[in-house]
Structure 1
Amino acid sequence: MSKFRRFLKRLKLNDTPSTDDEVMDSTEQAELGDAGSDESERPIPENLVKYKEHFDIAVELGLFDIQWYEAHYGTFESDIAAFADYIEKSNFANINPSAHFDTESYLRRNLDVYHEEAPPLLHYMYFGAQDKRAKSNAQVRWHPKDALVANETENWKEQKVAIVLHIFYQDSVVKFAESIATLPLNVDVFVTAASGEIAELATQTFNSIATVDKVQVKHVPNHGRNFGPFLVEFSEQLLDYDLMCHMHSKKSLYSGREQTQWFDYLHQYLLKDRHTVACLLRLFSEHEDLGMYYPTSFWMMPGWVNHWTCNLPFAQPFIDQWQLDINSDFVNYPVGGMFWARPKALAPLLSKTYAYDDFPGEPLPNDGSYLHALERVLGLLVEKQNYKQFFYYPTAAKFTLDKSYIYINYTKSTEQLFHEVQNFEIVSFDVFDTLVNRQYVAPDFAKYRLGEYLVEQEVVASPELFVKLRNDTETQLRIARDHKGDLGLAEIYESMAKELGCDPEQTSQWCELEFQFDLQIMSGKTEMIQLANRLSDLGREIWLITDTYYSEQQISMILRHCGLAIGFRLFVSSELKVRKDNASMWQYIQSIIKEKEMTIVHIGDNVRSDAQLCGDHGITNVHVLHPKDKWLAAGFKPNALTKGMNDKYESLKWGPLLSKFGRYPFFGN
């Protein structure tokens, strides 16, 4: 047990009851009037006495400001109640106690404090400042473009509401029950329970709550995670309700101990917080076009959590069935699978009859399945039904329709990026679209240029046919090898020689021409090249790790051509016969790091290869935006290139714009 955890245990601040009942909505504030305006004359409630000493110190240090806190997060019964509210939420919610302390920055810099699930402000006051751990002033990472204000309506408490719970962990029954008991309206509760014991406890517990009218509990098999059971058991019944709230017990196991912050965050802003719940119910009542609500994605998740990752193929049945339009690799969806919705907005999903065999069984991968895809298409389905999604951003305490929150983590200046990676002994970079840009973005452009040349030589009928032949040859070679290992450009052209009945020496010349055409349209991404040079000057080892059919010599030529004038170590898939996109490269890198006993961070643009699989092998990484992703993130309309249409004239039209705009892969410069 850490010194700080022992400290918290003595203070009994790490297992305190919630103070949510101290937060008042606008109606309660009006009823209170001037009562308690002189706080010094009122006794401190017994459950808040333990906060008094820490509150006084925080105020004296200028780290807690009651006026600032209430201006951001609502009115509280007392200053101590506001302080307690912050302390109890601060290990999972990205809210700040004043303008002089940024909770998120402190926890990101001090993951040991985050993993302790400890109040960061108290850690800084009693330990961090003494240990010279840095703090930051409160930062504004994202400004919602609009704000939804929850107005009073006549019938918001008359909405027919279903609370739908999938409970795998028994201790979650009490957590859910405590929140449901404080709801401002009566509800029906539907439970799918992972065991008979949980089913029995849930039946007894939820039936004892005054705000619950009806309870249905089903003991279900461990099949289909949180979606399968509720769809099998309750889907069509839910269509009779105005609103539904779907939640499930969730725990993350890492850092050697159980972590609940992700669940705590979703629970807080979906069901537990009285003010938030009252507001979202009012908003649903007032705006009939609102179809789904959830808080913005958990702030300690990686920036790419709102990416399709490897789930798009699994989503194809939903895309085809519901005629969904996919314009971006990033998508707004309830990360974690918990949300409020109008059942009417999900009617195509809920109006079917399901069996457990419709869903994949355990064990499921961490990502990449029918269920991961279903989670991602929910928001798209709501919008296809002509409803809107809306969100709650805790830092600003605002409800909003603004969907750009999914790019919060992609606002970063070059200086911030440098400070984020400078302390690692090894900094590795992906090459293409991270350090190097193609003027026309699409890698097929060089192949098209070669196709035009071969049309002139009367070798092929059209450049389009040549590009297809070139790509099909590569694909067939990979299939023949069962996608194991890798292959080089020369091997592709040797195979094409056989296909076309050409002299291998001739196709060898074509091979070199493809490389030269590609080299002509490549340039360095200035800020990223400068970052690598600057880190090298600090004595950091620079590694370059790339999945490519080019040889090590050709990659070296590209990098020198693009202005990388430092020493570096190359890891090229075509020569090593291991790749990032199937994780074999990361297994190889992991073995080297273990032997060298050095720290490493990897920077790259491919969510799957450079971030997700890299992280799965314990390697810290920084995901950067591909030029196409940055274009869409900025709010520009999709075009032929962002849709993956590799047409020459569209590449000539849009390529230079995308390339220039995406040169620095973050917003902030």
Structure 2
Amino acid sequence: MPMQEHEHETAMRECIEAGLFDPQWYRETYSIDFEDDFAIFSDYLTKSRFSPVNPSPAFDSETYLRENIDVFHHQISPLYHYINNGKIEGRTHGPAINRWSPREILTPERTIGEKAKTLKIAICLHIFYDDFIDRFAQALDAFPVEIDLLLTLAKEEFTDHARNTLGGHPRVNKTEIRIVPNRGRNFGPMLVEYSKEIKEYDLFCHLHSKKSLFSGKEQTQWADYLTEYLLRDPNIISGVLNSFAEDEKLGLYYPTTFWMMPVWVNHVTMNVPFIREWEKALDLPPGTEFISYPVGGMFWARPEALDGVIREGWEYDDFPAEPLPNDGSMLHALERVLGSLVEGKGYKQFFYYPTTGQFTTDQSYTTSSYRGTIEQHLPAIQAHACISFDVFDTLVRREYTVADYAKLKLGKHLCEQGMVDDPHDFMKLRNSAEFELRKRANFQGDVVIDDIYKELGAKLGISEADADGLMRKEFELDLEMILPKNEMVELFNHLGSVGHKLWVISDSYYTREQVGLMLRKVGIAVPYRLLVSSTEQKRKDNGSMWAMIKQDLAQEGIDRHLHIGDNVVADAQRPGDIGLTTFHILHPMEKWQALGFPKVLRGSDALDEGQILKWGKLVSQVGRNPFIGE
């Protein structure tokens, strides 16, 4: 017996004796027919390096890897590490945690069915790094049916390797190879080269080798995770193909989002303008903030379900040139509209959730990480010496949710006085004055509400004193509607009372003094440092504030800092990009959406006072506590 196999068998026996590995439970949970217990243990050892599968109800793999990030980075199976090293080192483990229980379960057969065998299938692989040629070939070794390969290669010199290794693979019938420019990331080559061919198939799978960076870190386990549940595991792939074969309304499949991604990764993030362009081009209604989409751009689909994207006529010039940002481009937006496109065509998405071994059409996994209570997160929060908080929708909320409602109310007041004809016209004029100031400053720094009203006063033809009075009135109207997010205020005061250094950081045109009044009103009662963009002339949402914060932390010798906020870009993505630790909480509207309530206060409804009064208070009350299931 080889040394490694002997070590694994010894470890398996120890795990069984310790009650941490239950072969029968694993077999039943993951619906796989293994030859023997050692085959089951080997399957766990392989998958648990990159996937949150559990060996038994007594051991939670995800928790162990999150609490021992060195084990994750070294790609060691968590239970194997614990039984061989972790226990001796004093590391702890806990029982399996139910983080999400999918509804709407699909139960396809896990061996390939006769109907699925008749499907005409293409696998589209984009090879940017040639080491993936062997990886993909190995992943195809146990593929349950024969397929055609449509390859796009980044370099001519990859051709022989690809043709010999993939083209000569026993599961491959036919191979097409195209050499492509570095344009369009993974989508461009597939769409330009093979849109016509893809339409000839019942199903196609798209994978790529490009080692994407997410917030500056290469995700090798992410690639393994996607390859496993899209290509390598015959048990899962048989379930996928059987599902497509048995239900013609299933249009798109991919595993649930890689579990070590930030909790907010299923958000639209910086891609809103690009998403709106795609929605317009594809005749789709505006989507929501949290969406189900194939994070990483790899998936199975019916070609007709992606009609409009899978179409002839694409050219490389249709796609932006490299280098592209980590996020915020038409290509990042494209993967985010695939789900809504499929649903717009009358099809459904379905997913595989590795933790429970289930297929499902339930999309609530996108916000499942926000379930729980503040108390559950308190130990992790308190592990940081310095904790910063956002203001609006983090510590304070507005009674009617809508940020511009104070401006609308001021417009109504001026309308009653005969100063303006329509409150909405006033609001547009007020916002245009703000925009003009930002434009004049080349969108650098930030604007102050005093200057906004000086600009507005000139547009209205009133004195500076009268303009100042209007500015004060807007603030008073907004202040009247400011309410506490009680649980968050209590958390803030608790942290301050036990000695944590607290900072409050806000992007706002209000002055530092005005923001301070709002915080005082909601009950902030411990010392804190207040940083407001209008004073600092730096903003969170463009990263300039975070560059300053990082410098300040270094100068003060603070190495354990955490920022808490509700805005995905300003409070999570931007600071995360420069290595700061963040804790994202749901905005009231996002929690409303996550709970499945109707879409409200969107588009023109967001500034319709009747709709604001009807829904705004409800949304604010629901969103008071940012966690789901409190």
- In 2, are the aligned partners of 1:442 and 1:641 still within 8 Å (CA)? no
Q: Which residue of 2 aligns with 1:514?
A: 474
- Are 2:233 and 1:273 aligned? yes
- From 126, 132, 136, give the equivalent of 2:94: 136
The structure 2 residue matched to 1:487, chosen from 447, 452, 455, is: 447
Shift of 1:194: 1.2
1:66 aligns with 2:23: yes
Measure, in 2, the Cα distance between the counterparts of 1:166 and 1:56.
42
Match of 1:241 in 2: 201
1:57 to 2:14 alignment = yes
Aligned partner of 1:378 among 338, 341, 348: 338
Partners of 1:199 and 1:463 lie apart in 2 by 65
Note the alpha carbon deviations across 1:186-230, whole angstroms, 9 max, x for none. Answer: 110111011122222111112322221101111211111111111
Alignment of 1:157-172 (within 5 A): 157-172=117-132
Gaps of 5+ in 1: 1-43
Sort the Cα spacing of 1:46 and 1:115 in 2 relative to 1 into closer, same or farther, 3 A. Answer: closer
Counterpart of 2:63 in structure 1: which amino acid? S
Contact 2:387 2:563 in 1 (8 A): yes
Cα deviation, residue 259, structure 1: 4.3
Q: Residue 279 of structure 1 aligns to a residue in which SS?
A: helix
Q: What amino acid maps onto 1:54 in structure 2?
A: A
Counterpart CA distance in 2 for 1:613 and 1:254 is 12
Look up the match of 2:597. 636
Q: Which residue of 2 aligns with 1:614?
A: 575
Name the CA distance, whole Å, in 2 between partners of 1:255 and 1:56: 40
CA distance in structure 1 between the partners assigned to 2:403 and 2:105 by the alignment: 41
| Matched AA of 2:378 | F
Alignment of 1:505 with 2:505, yes or no, is no
Q: How does 1:102-121 map to 2 (within 5 A)?
A: 102-121=60-79
**Distance of 1:645 and 1:527 partners within structure 2:** 26
Other-structure match for 1:10? none
Q: Does 2:608 match 1:650?
A: no
Q: 321, 337, 345: which one pairs with 1:361?
A: 321
- Aligned match for 1:321, one of 257, 277, 281: 281
* Alignment deviations for residues 363-391 of structure 1 (CA, whole Å, 9 cap, x no partner): 11000111111111111111111111110
Aligned to 2:133, which of 143, 166, 173? Answer: 173
Residues 105-143 of structure 1: CA deviation (Å, up to 9, x unaligned): 121222222111111112222333333333221011111
Report the AA paired with residue 49 of structure 2. N
Cα separation, 1, equivalents of 2:282 and 2:410 = 40
SS of residue in 2 equivalent to 1:159:
coil
Cα contact 1:309–1:608 (8 A) shared by 2:
yes
Helix, strand or coil: the match of 2:308?
helix
Name which of structure 1's ranges 431-440 and 307-316 shifts more when overlaid on structure 2.
307-316
2:74, 2:592 → 1: CA distance?
A: 39
The 2-side partners of 1:559 and 1:316 are apart by 35
Contact 1:248 1:338 in 2 (8 A): yes
Tell me how many residue pairs correspond in the alignment.
Answer: 626
Q: Secondary structure at the match of 1:570?
A: strand
- Does structure 1 residue 660 correspond to structure 2 residue 621? yes
SS of equivalent to 1:334: coil
Could you tell me which amino acid in structure 2 is paired with residue 51 of structure 1? H
SS at match of 1:514: helix
**The one of 101, 122, 133 aligned to 2:80:** 122
Are residue 396 (structure 1) and residue 353 (structure 2) matched? no
Contact in 2 for aligned 1:48/1:81 (Cα 8 Å): no
1:150 corresponds to 2:108: yes
1:76-115 equivalent positions in 2, closer than 5 A? 76-115=34-73
State the partner residue of 1:546. 506
Check the 8 A contact 1:166/1:230 in 2, yes or no.
yes
Partner of 2:309, secondary structure, is helix
8 Å CA contact retained: 2:49, 2:76: yes
Q: Give the distance between the partners of 1:128 and 1:354, measured in 2 at CA.
A: 53
Q: 1:498 to 1:256 in 2, by over 3 A?
A: closer
Question: Aligned residue for 1:32?
Answer: none
User: Do the aligned residues in 1 keep the contact of 2:399 with 2:617 (CA within 8 Å)?
Assistant: yes
Post-superposition offset of 1:68: 2.1
Once the 2 structures are TM-superposed, how far is the Cα of residue 258 of structure 1 from its aligned partner?
5.9
> Which stretch shows the higher mean deviation, 426-435 or 126-135?
126-135
Residue 423 of structure 2: aligned partner: 463
Instruction: Determine if contact 1:628/1:641 at 8 Å carries over to the other structure.
Output: no
Q: Is the 8 A contact 1:327 1:638 kept in 2?
A: no
Query: In structure 2, how many angstroms separate the alpha carbons of the residues matched to 1:527 and 1:134?
Result: 30
Q: Shift of the alpha carbon at 1:473?
A: 0.8
Q: Within 5 A, what are the aligned runs for 1:420-431?
A: 420-431=380-391
Provide the residue aligned with 2:485 in structure 1: 525
Mean Cα deviation higher: 434-443 or 73-82: 73-82
2:195 is equivalent to residue 195 of structure 1: no
Amino acid at match of 1:392: Y
Percent identity reads 46
Partner of 2:304: 344
What is the identity, as a one-letter code, of the residue corresponding to 2:15? Answer: A
- Shift of the 429–576 alpha-carbon distance from structure 1 to 2, 3 Å rule, reads same
Q: For residue 618 of structure 2, what is the amino acid of its counterpart? A: L
Distance 1:169 1:466 in 2: 56
CA distance in 1, matches of 2:365, 2:224: 20
Cα distance in 2 for residues equivalent to 1:293 and 1:426:
42
Aligned equivalents of 2:261, 2:614: Cα separation in 1: 36
TM-score, normalization: structure 2?
A: 0.96
Q: Kindly provide the amino acid, as one letter, of the partner of residue 60 in structure 1.
A: E
After superposition, give the CA deviation of every residue in 1:620-661 in whole Å (9 maximum; x if it has no partner): 001111111110110111013587622212111101100000
Higher mean Cα deviation, 377-386 or 158-167?
A: 377-386
> Is the CA contact 1:193–1:220 (under 8 Å) kept in the aligned structure 2?
yes
3-state SS of 1:360 partner: coil
Superposed CA offset, 1:556-587 (max 9, x none):
11111001111111011000000001110001
Match of 1:447 in 2: 407
Deviations 1:162-199 (A, max 9, x none): 01000111111111112223211111011101112222
Deviations 1:448-494 (A, max 9, x none): 22222222322112222211111111111111111101111111111
Does structure 2 conserve the Cα–Cα contact (< 8 Å) formed by 1:433 and 1:627?
Answer: yes
SS of 1:101's equivalent? coil
User: Counterpart of 2:269 in 1: which secondary structure?
Assistant: coil
Render the CA deviation track for 1:69-109: whole Å, top value 9, x for unaligned: 12211232111111111111112101111112111112122
Show the counterpart of 1:24: none
**Residues 627 and 315 of structure 1: CA distance in aligned 2, closer, same or farther (over 3 Å):** same
TM-score (norm 1): 0.91
Q: Deviations over 1:428-454 (max 9, x none)?
A: 110000110100001111112222222
The amino acid of 2:183's aligned partner reads: H
1:363, 1:288 → 2: CA distance? Answer: 39
- Kindly report the root-mean-square deviation, in angstroms, between the aligned alpha carbons of the 2 structures: 1.8
* CA pair 617-643 structure 1, distance change in 2 beyond 3 A: farther
Query: Could you tell me how far apart the structure 2 residues matched to 1:648 and 1:256 are?
Result: 43
Residue pair 1:308, 1:330 contacting (<8 A) in 2 also: yes
Alignment of 1:286-301 (within 5 A): 286-301=246-261
- Change in CA separation of 1:613 and 1:67 when aligned onto 2, cut-off 3 Å: same
TM alignment of 1:568-647, pairs within 5 A: 568-598=528-558, 599-641=560-602, 645-647=606-608
Q: Which amino acid aligns with 1:127?
A: N
